[in-house]
Amino acid sequence: MKFYSLLSIIVLPAVSAIGSVTLDISLGDLQNSSGVATNGMQYAIVVDTSASGNGFEVGSYIGFDITTNGQFLYTANGVTDDWFVYGGSLGTGQTPPTTSNIFPYGDGAIGIEADIDFTNLSQGDEFAVIWFPGGSATSSGDEYGFFTDTGSTLNMVIPADGQDSTPPSSVSTKSVDFQVVPEPSAFGFVGLFCFVWLMFRRRSVI
Render pLDDT for 87-108 as a digit per residue (tens, 0 to 9): 999 999 999 999 999 999 999 9
Nearest to 25 by CA among 186, 135, 174: 174
Q: What is the pLDDT of residue 191?
A: 44
Nearest to 19 by CA among 159, 124, 149: 159
Q: Is the peptide bond before 167 cis (omega within 30 degrees of 0)?
A: no
**Rounded Cα distance, 160 and 156, in Å:** 13
Q: Does residue 189 surpass a pLDDT of 50?
A: no
Q: What is the pLDDT of residue 184?
A: 84
Rounded mean pLDDT of 123-139? 97
Q: Does residue 193 surpass a pLDDT of 70?
A: no
Rounded mean pLDDT of 54-72? 98
User: How does the average pLDDT of the chain come out, rounded?
Assistant: 87
Rounded mean pLDDT of 16-30? 88
Q: What is the pLDDT of residue 183?
A: 87
**Rounded Cα distance, 168 and 1, in Å:** 52
Nearest to 72 by CA among 59, 87, 57: 57
Q: Does residue 16 surpass a pLDDT of 70?
A: no
Secondary element (H or E) of residue 74: strand 71-75
Q: Does residue 7 surpass a pLDDT of 90?
A: no
- pTM, full prediction: 0.83
Handedness of CA 105, 110, 115, 120 (dihedral sign): negative
Secondary element (H or E) of residue 85: strand 78-85
Q: Does residue 175 surpass a pLDDT of 70?
A: yes
Q: What is the pLDDT of residue 12?
A: 45
